[in-house]
Structure 1
Amino acid sequence: MTTFNLTEIQEQLNQANEKNSESGVSFNGKSLKLNSEADAEEVVKAIEKCQKLEYLDLEGNTLGPDAAKAVAKALEVKGTSLKRALWKDMFTGRMKTEIPLALEYLGTGLCAAQTRLVELDLSDNAFGPIGVQGLATLLSSSACFTLRELKLNNNGLGITGGKMLAKALLNCHENSSTENGTAPLALRVFIAGRNRLENDGAEALAEVFTKLTTLEEISMPQNGIYHKGVAALAQALSVNPRLKILNLNDNTVGPEGARALAKSLPNLPELEKLNLGDCLLKTRGASVLAEALAKEGAHRNLMELNLSFNEIGAASVNAIAAAVADKQELASLVLDGNVFGSKGRENLKGALTASQKLSVLGSLEEDESESEGDSESADETESDDSDDEGKTSEAEKKDDQETLKVEKDQRNVTVQGFLKNPTAENLLRLQGDKVQLFLEHAKSEDKTAGRIDWNLEGCFKALEKISTKDYFLTETRDALKVFIELPIKTGKVRVDPFQKVKASLKKVLDQI
């Protein structure tokens, strides 16, 4: 039987009504290029005319330091009531030295106005670690003591930036705790996907999460985090019992990371969405997580579960089905891209039908195995489920050795190695400032990397898949249509051996 927390529902409704009734200034999507103080005059006047400035939306424009200085002066006077700084995609085309200064100016203006922010969104600003220098001053200040939502998606922070961010948030928590009349920082939403944080950055942020204990959403996909970083995050999650959304998609969680997360799940009774797609969980990792979710009465509010593209075999089917059998709120179960095989898929659908959960199952079209592998997966699980502790220990050691091998390989990938095998995984394995590494390689006289043997068929299939995504620009789709009309020249004879895969790509582009 579903239970409702009326107090919580009322609070959410109040927040929604409050957002809708807020007044403010928006230049969202105007594509203004604001270099000088004079360029910013239109924005400044709009701020000055606003009777109660509760939000300032500058998404899709680009501000230089002088323009930011002019906006900051206006905020000193009108920014007292500001709650939401919506500053996504605000520094396109700016030099890396300009961004910290612009952020410092804006932060100074907010502090002078004694602003108390609730939401700060600086996503899609590729300012890297140097940009965090200016941001750190703002985050540590009184303007952020009341911050509830921090969104830093796709900022290119790297390990260094992640550590600087963590330090700023710890300072904010400490400063807010000691200031008279204020409560400690009680952040609820933390979003930092696509930032190359890796293990060190994740561990630094885990320390912050442990201090906060108030988080309701953590979204950190595509950060190159391995099981060590995941284990640190899992421990931090355990002291955030109100967590509703956890998204670690496209990190290498592995079986060991899955075990760490499974231990934290009993401490997250309000969990609603769990996204561990493309995390290399393997059969063992998926089984461990499923068993934690399947405990009687646990996670009754779970609405979405994503375990896609994890190399999960048929041996986990029963455990996964059991995990969702009593989840009355479940609306989405994503398991595509695994290795269940035809028999495993049939068993999964049968088990979900029995618990009346088949309707929430997504597509299984990209399942990567057929029935030939089913017997091997089943044998593996029988061994795993054995009461023989020695066998289980050996299986765990094998999983851990595989994970360690991946991490060792990560350290060995160079720019030359990536160019010879340009995969997304190898790109993540490059250590250090990736942009700088490629620039140095491009400028170098050393051409020992040799000719790149591109898998063009694979490239076309990859384009076909990502061209349907929201972030794929319309202009890029149009340009692709032009280029794929031309045949590929190989050798001395002008032929096009990729006509079939190009036609498939063109069909997808035409349908969008």
Structure 2
Amino acid sequence: IGDNGAQALSEALKANRILTILGLRDNSMGPKGAQALSEVLITNKTLTTLNLSFNLIRPNGAQALSETLKVNSALTTLDLRCSSIGPNGTQALSEALKINSTLTTLELYGSSIGDSGAHMLSDSLRTNRTLTTLNLGYNSIGNDGAQALFEALKANTTLTTLDLHDNSIGNSGAQALSEALKANWALTTLNLRKNSIGPIGAQALSEELKTKRILITLDLYGNPIGYMGEEAIHQALQTTECNIKF
């Protein structure tokens, strides 16, 4: 539908009081289309789910949506997977998350946010009290960005699902996570598949998971944890209710 179609839909949404879900995945939409939708969402009180994934909304589009999130009180799910928002767009969203009190799910898979974007999001996670699901898969996040996110988890009490698959998180990131899990009792699902966690990281996580009193699903599939890492996980599974995939 492109930007023109998005602008036409935005005009219709000004009068609509029924629609709750709008899916515009893979529709050749750019920043102008995202901006048009953002403007109408400032006053729209019914739309709860907006899917703009696989569109090139870029940082400008993300910034427009972020301004909307600061005042919108209806939207609970925002899907921006593969939308090329980059670190600048992520920064704008992070600032909005410090204010927004309704969004529970944010999908940012494949958004090229990198370590700098992870740092920005970690700042908002320290204060945000509504977000429960955050997807940051395939975003070139390394140990530095992961450590920032995991440090934020020590203060966060609402995030239950964090997806970091297909990034570049290694042993130091896993060790930072094990420290964070000592303080965090909200996270129940963590996807770390296809990262770079080796035996040392797997051992650190296994030791901490032995003491967890809540059910947690940890996905380590595709990490080079080796024989020692596998043995550590097997031992942890003897004493924990956690579901560990490797």
In structure 1, C-alpha distance between the alignment counterparts of 2:224 and 2:200, rounded to whole Å: 10
**1:44 is aligned with what amino acid?**
S
Partner Cα separation in structure 1 for residue 13 and residue 75 of structure 2: 16
Displacement, 1:50?
A: 2.6
AA at the equivalent of 2:215:
E
Change (3 A) 1:82 1:156: same
1:101 equivalent to 2:66? Answer no
Deviation at 1:84, TM superposition (A): 2.4
Q: Is the 8 A contact 2:119 2:149 kept in 1?
A: yes
Cα deviation per residue 1:32-65 (whole Å; 9 max; x = unaligned)? 221xxx5534211342343234333222123333
- Match for 1:125 among 68, 83, 93? 83
Q: TM-score, normalised by structure 1?
A: 0.44
Paired AA for residue 179 in structure 2? Q
Q: Does the aligned pair in 1 maintain the 2:73–2:102 contact within 8 Å?
A: no
Q: In structure 1, what is the equivalent of residue 215 of structure 2? A: 270
CA 1:139–1:61: 2 relative to 1, 3 Å:
farther
The CA deviation at 1:203 is 0.6
1:110, CA displacement in angstroms?
4.1
Partners of 2:118 and 2:145 within 8 A in 1:
yes
| Alpha-carbon RMSD | 2.4
8 A contact 2:150–2:176 mirrored in 1: yes
Q: 2: distance between equivalents of 1:189 and 1:72?
A: 22
In structure 2, the CA distance between the partners of 1:33 and 1:160, relative to structure 1 (3 Å rule), is: same
The AA in structure 2 aligned to 1:54 is T
Give the match for residue 104 of structure 2: 148
For 1:218 and 1:268, the matched residues in 2 are separated by 19
Q: Deviations over 1:45-104 (max 9, x none)?
A: 3423432343332221233333333222322222x333323221121xx6xxxx222222
Aligned counterparts of 1:153 and 1:118: Cα–Cα separation in 2: 17
Q: Is residue 114 of structure 2 the alignment partner of residue 158 of structure 1? A: yes
Normalization by structure 2: what TM-score?
Answer: 0.87
Q: Which of structure 1's runs of 4+ aligned residues deviate more than 6 A?
A: none
> Does residue 280 in structure 1 map to residue 236 in structure 2?
no
The range that moved more, 211-220 or 188-197, is 211-220
Bigger radius of gyration: 1
Residue 7 of structure 2 is aligned to residue 48 of structure 1: no
Count of aligned residue pairs for this structure pair: 245
Q: Is the CA contact 1:166–1:208 (under 8 Å) kept in the aligned structure 2?
A: yes
Q: Comparing both structures, which one devotes a greater share of its residues to helix?
A: 1
State the Cα distance separating 1:132 from its structure 2 match. 1.6
| Contact 2:59–2:86 (CA under 8 A) maintained in structure 1 | no
Relative distance call for 1:126 and 1:268 in structure 2 (3 A) is: farther
Q: Return 5+ residue gaps in structure 1 as ranges.
A: 1-31, 174-184, 308-512
Q: What's the offset of the Cα at 1:291?
A: 0.5
Between the aligned partners of 1:240 and 1:138, the Cα distance in structure 2 is 23
Aligned counterpart for 1:239 among listed residues 157, 161, 183: 183
Q: 5 Å matches for 1:277-316? A: 277-295=221-239, 298-299=240-241, 302=243, 305-307=244-246
Q: Residue in 2 aligned with 1:87? A: 52
Alignment check: 8 A CA contact 2:32 2:61 kept: yes
Verify the 8 A CA contact 2:170 2:195 in the aligned structure 1.
Answer: yes
**Which protein, 1 or 2, shows the higher relative CO under an 8 Å CA cutoff with sep ≥ 6?**
2
